[in-house]
Structure 1
């Protein structure tokens, strides 16, 4: 009886450790708590492109000697908004969404893709990055990629989910899409950029023309 009890304890311990490793490797990030502008600012690379090829490739071994697989997307870069001087020709991601892998379609669809550069110069993406079909972006988002987002990289965007909600410094913009619209990416995410003003304070800007040196907190086209 003692042996059986000990055996059950050991088995449960092994199962717990195994499940712990599985959970540790599961995809977890706050991608839905980050404004597209913040993703632009924190990414190494931001491009517009489409997939022209896809294959599974080996990416070395893990600490236990097991092979690591990656999905390699061959990319036709249409425009680079941020990144290295050379065009991005391939993007790598994990093989499944369970470990933050991204599925891109090879059907001519164009994407806005943000990602990180590895030490070897390759671009890698996860579900935590901001990746959207190009046609689903608003005109403001498309225009902001060339100037406005970069102008606000010194600002802080704070997601407001409940009242009271307030800024802690002048260099901060309140993101209220979830509070007002019950959407992660609502009007502010689609039609506004948080831009630093001449006095180093930050405010939401909306407009089709480049921001003037001085502008109100919310400026219409």
Structure 2
């Protein structure tokens, strides 16, 4: 009887471990331009102390194309029974989503309370961040799969991309390789048929210092810059 109980306990622990493994959050790597183009909003914002007057929504009606408000309406704090946590932010710059977000607005940004649903663990009060995410139920929401980072880690080329290069080149396709096998860029470039090839595990230089842009011949290719060349040379030296 004792052996049976121990066996059942052991099998139960295996089941629970497998359950949490299945439920764990998995995010596939993506180039910053891809993150930008697939997001509903892209903002630079400062995490500020929370006050109970902050509201749920940042527009008058629960529709993304409605009137922009300079500040969030005072409709009370969020429902404690909702599976979300949130931080109060002051929006410094809107790069995407200007039709429903205003510079200088104060609102909340939400994430799941569950790690298994890709909830963001913590944000540092007083720091400025780059946030990307989706609009859902009148709320700005983001996960660990959405690009977010401290503003002082964003390179000058990334900031240029945020200002205009990313949005004007969203029609360009970035073909990701190396997710499940080794990336051979020469072969993958031929298969990609004009798309910019990005190595998921070795594409840091393109992420930090380049944008996939439309060239004069109508084809998309990585924008070459001195910073990109220097980064590539450094990577070659390291390897």
C-alpha deviation, 1:191, in angstroms = 1.2
Cross-structure match for 1:53:
49
Cross-structure match for 1:111:
129
Cross-structure match for 1:65:
none
The correspondence for 2:24, drawn from 23, 26, 30, is 26
Deviating more after overlay: 47-56 vs 166-175 = 47-56
5+ residue gaps, structure 2? 52-76, 227-239
- Sort the Cα spacing of 1:121 and 1:174 in 2 relative to 1 into closer, same or farther, 3 A: same
Deviating more after overlay: 7-16 vs 160-169 = 7-16
- Sort the Cα spacing of 1:188 and 1:20 in 2 relative to 1 into closer, same or farther, 3 A: same
Distance 1:201 1:169 in 2: 12
Cross-structure match for 1:212:
none
RMSD of the alignment, in Å? 3.0
Cross-structure match for 2:231:
none
Write the mapping of 1:1-221 to structure 2, written as runs, cut at 5 A.
5=4, 7=5, 10-30=8-28, 33-54=29-50, 58=79, 60=81, 68=83, 70-83=84-97, 84-87=99-102, 89-95=107-113, 97=115, 99-102=117-120, 103-107=122-126, 109-118=127-136, 120-161=137-178, 162=182, 164-165=184-185, 166-167=188-189, 168-176=191-199, 178-179=201-202, 185=204, 187-197=205-215, 199-206=217-224
Distance 1:114 1:82 in 2: 9
C-alpha deviation, 1:86, in angstroms = 3.0
Q: Is the 8 A contact 1:115 1:125 kept in 2?
A: yes
1:114-161, Cα deviation, whole Å (9 max, x unpaired): 01111x120111111111111211111111112211222222223454
Q: SS of the counterpart of 1:145?
A: helix
Size of the aligned set, in residue pairs, is 190
Q: Is the 8 A contact 2:30 2:200 kept in 1?
A: no
Q: Which has the higher helix share?
A: 2
Distance 1:59 1:82 in 2: 30
Distance 2:37 2:218 in 1: 17
C-alpha deviation, 1:171, in angstroms = 3.3
Distance 1:163 1:24 in 2: 27
Q: Which runs of 4+ in 1 moved over 6 A?
A: none
Q: Which has the higher strand share?
A: 1
Deviating more after overlay: 97-106 vs 34-43 = 97-106
